[in-house]
A and B are shown apart, each in its own frame.
Chain A
Amino acid sequence: MFGTTLLLALRSIRRHILRSFLTILGIVIGVGAVVTMVTLGKATTAAVQSQIAALGTNILQIRPGQGFGRGGGGPRPPDFTPEDVTAIATQIAGVTAVAPQAQASATAIYEGANWSTTINGTTAAYFQVQPWPLASGRYWTTPEEQAGKAVCIIGNTVRQNLFRGGEAVGERFRLGDVSCDVIGTLSTRGQAGFGGDQDDVVIMPIKAVQRRFTGSRDIRLMLVGVDQRYQTAGVQSAITDLLRERRTITDGREDNFNIFDTKQISDTLTGTTTALTRIVAAVAAISLVVGGIGIMNIMLVSVTERTREIGIRLAIGAVANEVLLQFLVEAVVLSCLGGLIGLVIAQAVIAGLTPLLDVPWTFDPQINMIAFAISAVIGVVFGYFPARRAAALNPIDALRHE
């Protein structure tokens, strides 16, 4: 009986192809919207997470000043000293390494090509805190670091622009007024979420940068690696206590430095994008329900319009349940068809939008299955009422219907 009903439903859909298309339009748009929104939302979350992961997890960033936007007025808080770095590295439990950073910018020149870039002066600890594999060459040695030699490791963007993508290791180029030997090139990291191009950088021993570019021993930024077995919050408060003491901040006065926990930022941003995804998905889900009501509308109109047909079927000997099942199956087939078309359209839209939004292309089988299942359920729920109405018709009245 079910096979017959399915055949009848398919014939009926084929006979009214335009009406069928209009019926499912709402479901197509609803399913398409839900799948697109959820997939893009998840892709954005994943992109944010991977960008933060690139900054390194379990890393504390310590800067002078009171955090974003609150440093205005008063004298500029002092930078850190190499002694601060040693103190944190040796006195705090759970710290694996502390990398001081001194930054400068300069124009790099090589055989007529020039490129404006950022110089990042640091120590070998930098690569320990935040692993960054080399594409070629080597890291600097301890004697080179201690002597502050003008050796540098360059990011891929600098290599592309200065050396035209050719071999750079072993070459010598001019960085501002300084002649500099390339000893290594870094692997590509790509765009950072909020820091621009991470590969546009020249990394040198901090002493070289301090002596030849910034002209002071000041350290603007410390990266502290935290052992996986320790809570970053505990390490953070220990460092706060130590630095307050070293910077002679009396009780009751605010810190003149700030410590950022990258994990905390990661959690916050992930939470935000997840919440946004949910909101957008909820809006899209409303359109799915509206689509279901659309199906019910058209099916009800269809029952009225096909009253005589129903009368013929009843006269021929269809029992009420067969008429009910036919209309129900029609509604479910239509809504499932709408769901499938919606899924296909969603994939096309996602494929088109991911490069524009700069998020990775993903296929989430779960949301696709859920959206399809919902479209089937909508068919049953919103198809039942019109179907029951059709089945309840009196054959004599139905046959007389104009």
Chain B
Amino acid sequence: MASDAASLIALRNVTKVYGQGATQFQALKGVDLDIAAGDFVAVMGPSGSGKSTTMNILGCLDVPSAGTFLFRGHHVETLDRDERALLRRRYLGFVFQGFNLLSRTTALENVELPLLYRGDEKRARRATAMAALEKVGLDRWWDHTPAELSGGQQQRVAIARAIVTRPDVLLADEPTGNLDSERSVEIMELLTDLNRESGITVLMVTHEPDMAAFARTVVHFKDGLVERIETQHAQGEKVS
């Protein structure tokens, strides 16, 4: 574990409560978590353990009920909706289990989308988006719509879209959940390469140990708390 100073992300005693009164449900019961820049983290745990809630907070999509969330030293829990949106635009990239590409839209246009919101002019946008597609090995498929691409290819487009703005953190929610094992390994290798070569911090939710094995750090959640954190030196080799 890195020290506080070097932490890209730091959660301190974070709680999250859904609902009110009798139907109240405490999803997070005081989570402390530090993630260093450049780490590859797999988040594991049974459903209801709080891993998705934590990911939503880390993705700046949701705010904690109490506690602090420091991102690059800034208190995210004090930011409003639009400020968090701008934070996501600048520093975060998302990859989802269901790919979540815009239908009837070419791969290139999908990858361009974050650049559009960033306000890049047309030529720079095209070039940057093509470079991202090249990185995931799909530059020849730039004019294909999601319906014309395989699941693995769609997820590669989604990854290209997530990294096109050169974010600090890539958040992947079960990125291989909809893929067969062969494609899954390809996606994991791509994520590993991005982590090593571009230095992108990867946070990945998974329930498959095979996929978690690609990560350097594995965080296990249970009952709204971090149960344990493992550090792995190499693929499949665990050091507790």
A250 within 8 Å of B by Cβ?
no
B56 within 8 Å of A by Cβ?
yes
Contact A316:B88 (CB < 8 A) given known A11-B109, A15-B104, A399-B96: yes
A345 within 8 Å of B by Cβ?
no
CB distance B88 to A315 under 8 Å?
Answer: yes
| Bound-complex Cα distance A372 to B119 (A) | 31
Give the most central of A311, A321, A396: most B CB within 10 Å. Answer: A396
Interface string of B69-85 (1 = CB under 8 A from A): 00000000000011001
Chain B residues with a Cβ closer than 8 Å to the other chain, count: 29
Give the most central of A16, A308, A314, A318: most B CB within 10 Å. Answer: A318
Say how far B165's CB is from chain A's closest CB, in angstroms. 8
A353 within 8 Å of B by Cβ?
no
A7 within 8 Å of B by Cβ?
yes
**What residues on B are CB-neighbors of A192 within 8 Å?**
none
CB distance B114 to A399 under 8 Å?
Answer: no
Interface string of B96-110 (1 = CB under 8 A from A): 100011111100010
- Report the nearest A residue to B52, measured CB to CB: A396
Which residue of the partner chain, among A1, A309, A314, contacts B102 with CB atoms under 8 Å?
A309
A54 within 8 Å of B by Cβ?
no
CB distance A315 to B61 under 8 Å?
Answer: yes
**What residues on B are CB-neighbors of A15 within 8 Å?**
103-105
CB distance A317 to B85 under 8 Å?
Answer: yes
B64 within 8 Å of A by Cβ?
no
**What residues on B are CB-neighbors of A316 within 8 Å?**
88-89, 94, 113-114, 117, 161
| Bound-complex Cα distance A15 to B87 (A) | 29
Chain A residues with a Cβ closer than 8 Å to the other chain, count: 24
**What residues on B are CB-neighbors of A26 within 8 Å?**
none
**What residues on B are CB-neighbors of A8 within 8 Å?**
116
Say how far A394's CB is from chain B's closest CB, in angstroms. 8
B2 within 8 Å of A by Cβ?
no
**What residues on A are CB-neighbors of B102 within 8 Å?**
309, 312
Which residue of the partner chain, among B85, B88, B119, contacts A4 with CB atoms under 8 Å?
B119
CB distance A317 to B89 under 8 Å?
Answer: yes
CB distance A308 to B100 under 8 Å?
Answer: yes
**What residues on B are CB-neighbors of A395 within 8 Å?**
61
Binding site for A on B (CB under 8 A): 56, 59, 61-62, 81-82, 85-90, 92, 94, 96, 100-105, 109, 113-114, 116-119, 161
Q: A314-B85, A317-B87, A317-B117 are in contact. List 14 more A-B contacts (CB 8 A).
A: A4-B117, A16-B104, A312-B101, A312-B113, A315-B94, A316-B89, A317-B85, A317-B88, A317-B89, A317-B90, A318-B85, A320-B85, A321-B82, A396-B61
User: Could you list 7 examples of A-B contacts with CB < 8 Å?
Assistant: A4-B117, A311-B100, A316-B117, A317-B87, A319-B85, A320-B82, A399-B96
